[in-house]
Amino acid sequence: MRPGATSGAAARRLGARRGVSWLAVAAVPTAFLGVFFAWPVAAIVARGLDGGAVVEVLGDPGLRRVAWFTLWQALASTVLTLVLAVPGAHVLARYDFRGRRVVRALVTVPFVLPSVVVGTAFVGLLGRGGPLAPLGLDRSVVAVLVAHAFFNYAVVVRTVGGLWAHLDPALEESARVLGASRWQAFRHVTLPLLRPALAAAGAIVFLFCFTSFGVVLVLGGPGRTTIEVEVYRQTAQLLDLRAAAALTLLQLAAVVALVAVHARAQRRRAGALRLRPANEVLVRPRGRQRLLLGGNLLVMATLLGVPLVSLVERSFASGDGYGLASWRALSSSRRGSTLFVSPLEALGSSLTYAAAATVISMVVGGLAAFAVARHTTVAARGFDALLMLPLGTSAVTVGFGFLITLDSPPLDLRGSAWLVPLAQALVATPLVVRSLVPVLRSVDVRLKEAAATLGAPPWRVLREVELPLVGRALLVGASFAFAVSLGEFGATVFLARPDRPTLPMAIVRLLGQPGALNLGQAMAMSTILLLVTAAAVLAIEGRRVGEVSEL
Is pTM beyond 0.75? Reply is: no
Residue 322 gets which letter from DSSP? E
CA distance 525 to 315: 8
Residues in the chain: 551
- Report the pLDDT value the prediction gives residue 330, as an integer from 0 to 100: 78
Whole-number pLDDT of residue 545: 43
DSSP H stretches of helix in 342-499: 343-373, 378-387, 389-392, 395-405, 419-442, 445-453, 458-461, 467-469, 471-487, 492-495
How far apart, in Å, are the Cα atoms of 408 and each of 88, 169, 261? 51, 61, 38
List of domains in the chain: 44-312 (1.10.3720.10), 328-546 (1.10.3720.10)
| Nearest CA among 187, 93, 107 for reference residue 149 | 107
Alpha-carbon distances of 118 from 284, 308, 506, 508, rounded to whole Å: 34, 8, 15, 12
> For each successive 10 residues of the chain (551 residues), what is the average pLDDT?
48 45 75 87 74 69 82 90 90 82 80 78 64 54 87 84 72 71 72 77 83 81 77 74 76 73 56 52 76 87 86 80 80 58 79 90 87 68 72 74 79 79 87 75 64 66 66 75 81 79 82 76 83 72 46 38
The predicted pLDDT at position 77 comes to 92
Would you state the pLDDT for residue 546?
A: 42
pLDDT value, residue 84: 92
User: Is the CB of residue 166 less than 8 Å from the CB of residue 319?
Assistant: no
